[in-house]
Amino acid sequence: MSKVMVLGAGDLGRRVFHELAHGPGDRHVRLVGREEDPTLRAANLSRFSALQRGYHPTVDHATTDLNDIDRTAECIAAFDPDVLFLAASFQSWWVITTLPGESFQRLRAANYGPWLPMHLVPVHKAMQAVRRSGTSAVVVNAAYPDAVHPILTSVGLSPDVGIGNVANNVPGIRVAAADLLGVPVPEVDVRLVAHHYVSHRLSRAGDPGRAGMALTIGHGGQDLTDRVDTASLLKRLPLEYRRTGGMPGQAMTAASALSVLVPLADRRDALVHAPGPGGLVGGYPVAIEGGRIRTALPDSVSLEEAVAVNLSGQVHDGIDAIDADGTTHFEPSSMAVLTAELGYECRTMRLDEAEGRAAEIRERFEVYRGRAVASAS
């Protein structure tokens, strides 16, 4: 029996935990949250609804606070998972979507990079606990892996791989390519290299913006990319291939997480897409083989080219550069949005400064949200 721990009982963590419990796989799944009552309720909901469908999962729950690194390490060690899924963030991406329309539109122009501390800090704490626990689990992270992983690599604490982002557009591209080629979807091989900035744009604008990306489309073992007008194909993503977004669209992110977690838990090989493999910046095609993870780039794209593509996306997402010691330099025009809207400014951030920055962002955002709601009412 494989053991999977879901550390983080927010919306995404609960969705993934629920799906892991609803299957024939021989798994023991534990949901770990911060508060006892909601975590217990979520675990029991998944357990009982699985039984209703004829599954007999081994599921349970535990509680910890990521701020208590020793307690979290004990929690991980006690369960000794084969796979550990980190689904923790100080402020999820969807929170700004709850703002009144004009405030949301102004704030979203900052892109994702300036919000980095909100995702970096909890993952950093979790990975310190992972190290102290002595676990050999494969660690899979949901919180902005495109940037969090290369930063934590600097201190030897990067998770093994991320989820979502680059993966979320691959199904739509495969369906669009299959329709264009007139072949069954399972026969279409898509390899996409793209940063979070690009993956966020594709389903909304149908293009990568000013950032780079690499896309190949194959069928029957042949690379057909040159025979496909990929620019026109991508333009169709927000049209006839559009899908539900926002909070309901978290179903796609959960599915992307499961595409990584299930092969790892069930010990089978798979070709998937994921951000941050091995601490790399951005997103890549990834092969899961024998519980190990490696990039699976098409022959036409070298690793150096793939990294360069992702670095271009990183800049447009609001991060100019990440130094070898983990120091982050933010892109001025993106940061200027947070300065104008929240009164927050940070040009350069060391890893040891991230927690203070996260606290400042949270405090300033709460004030901003209160004013926005008041002015809209």
321-346 tens-digit pLDDT: 999 999 999 999 999 999 999 999 99
Taking the CB of residue 210, how many other CB atoms lie within 10 A of it? 12
Strands (E), 278-374: 283-289, 292-295, 319-322, 328-330, 348-349
Q: Tell me the pLDDT tens digit for each residue of 57-78.
A: 899 999 999 999 999 999 999 9
Distance CA 332, CA 110 (A): 10
Token pair of 282 as six digits: 């951005």
Distance CA 273, CA 169 (A): 10
- φ and ψ at residue 156, rounded to 5 degrees: 70, 30
3-state secondary structure of 304: helix
3-state secondary structure of 248: coil
Distance CA 155, CA 62 (A): 28
Task: Burial-class residue 77 by CB neighbours within 10 Å (0-12, 13-18, 19+).
Answer: middle
Q: Which residue has the tokens 């969090």?
A: 148
**SS3 for 81-117, per residue?**
CCEEEECCCCCCHHHHHHCCHHHHHHHHCCCCHHHHH
Angle, CA of 215, 166 and 28, to the nearest 5°: 135
Distance CA 346, CA 335 (A): 7
- Specify the DSSP class assigned to residue 152: H
Q: Sorting pLDDT into bands at 50, 70 and 90, what band is 229? A: very high
Q: Sorting pLDDT into bands at 50, 70 and 90, what band is 377? A: confident
Model confidence, pTM: 0.97
Interval 47-51 mean pLDDT: 96
